[in-house]
A and B are shown apart, each in its own frame.
Chain A
Amino acid sequence: QKEVEQNSGPLSVPEGAIASLNCTYSDRGSQSFFWYRQYSGKSPELIMSIYSNGDKEDGRFTAQLNKASQYVSLLIRDSQPSDSATYLCAVNVAGSSNTGKLIFGQGTTLQVKP
């Protein structure tokens, strides 16, 4: 069964610190990887996508992908209290890059303390 695993947390970091969120996936055929942010009671919001091994930076966010290790991570620099949310790792079902079918991890709850 295809799976995406995340530590549910909560992960607590002080304001201004770097938050590191990790995700592993089981399907070696997956090609597209996403991080979504979900505030309580709201729907997920796409914050990062990554498709190739290495790092991808966008503002305070950096996504890292290692396909050999089947590992995706998200770094949030200069964490702010407004970053407090649940972060969902999502991986496309192999062979479905043209349909958008995703498998989600259980999410990691991040708490940024002032």
Chain B
Amino acid sequence: GAVVSQHPSRVICKSGTSVKIECRSLDFQATTMFWYRQFPKQSLMLMATSNEGSKATYEQGVEKDKFLINHASLTLSTLTVTSAHPEDSSFYICSAFVQASRGKAFFGQGTRLTVV
């Protein structure tokens, strides 16, 4: 399957600071990427759809000014958690859609964010 690389895998930051998470498609071009958040023992909740060259589309209830998404190239999307708080601690996962794959999406390794 297609390879999606996410970095970093783990990060600990202080409250009030910002954290950037990168998501790269390594062997294909991804015009659309997705960002999910997963709390312990819960399913994946879609946060936003990242579109190359245009603004991200955020799901209801997700603060676009807090979760900044940039998709500047066909292989890279970034999620920046701004002014992080302990309640932002979660597992953040990106996925990339492969064109002509009939809807298949492949996931990055995920980023465990802990805000202290």
Contacts and interface: CB of A to CB of B under 8 A. Distances in A.
A97 B91 CA distance: 26
A92 to B, nearest CB: 4
Sorting the interface of chain B by its residue count into under 10, 10 to 19, 20 to 34 or 35 or more gives 20 to 34
Contacts of A88: 43-44
B44 A97 contact: no
B7 to A, nearest CB: 13
Contacts of B104: 32, 34, 46, 49, 100
B84 interface: no
Contacts of B34: 100-102
A37 to B, nearest CB: 11
B44 A100 contact: no
Sorting the interface of chain A by its residue count into under 10, 10 to 19, 20 to 34 or 35 or more gives 20 to 34
B71 to A, nearest CB: 13
A96 B110 contact: no
A43 B103 contact: no
Interface in B65-116: 91, 93, 95-99, 101-110, 112
B103 A31 contact: yes
Given A43-B109, A46-B1, A100-B105, A105 B43 contact: yes
Interface string A97-109: 1111111111100
B98 to A, nearest CB: 8
Nearest to B31: A99
A45 interface: yes
24 contacts: A31-B103, A34-B104, A34-B105, A42-B110, A43-B93, A43-B108, A43-B110, A44-B93, A45-B107, A49-B102, A49-B104, A96-B103, A98-B103, A99-B49, A100-B96, A100-B97, A100-B98, A100-B101, A100-B103, A101-B34, A101-B46, A104-B44, A106-B42, A106-B43
Given A88-B44, A100-B98, 7 more contacts: A36-B107, A43-B110, A49-B102, A97-B103, A99-B97, A102-B46, A106-B42
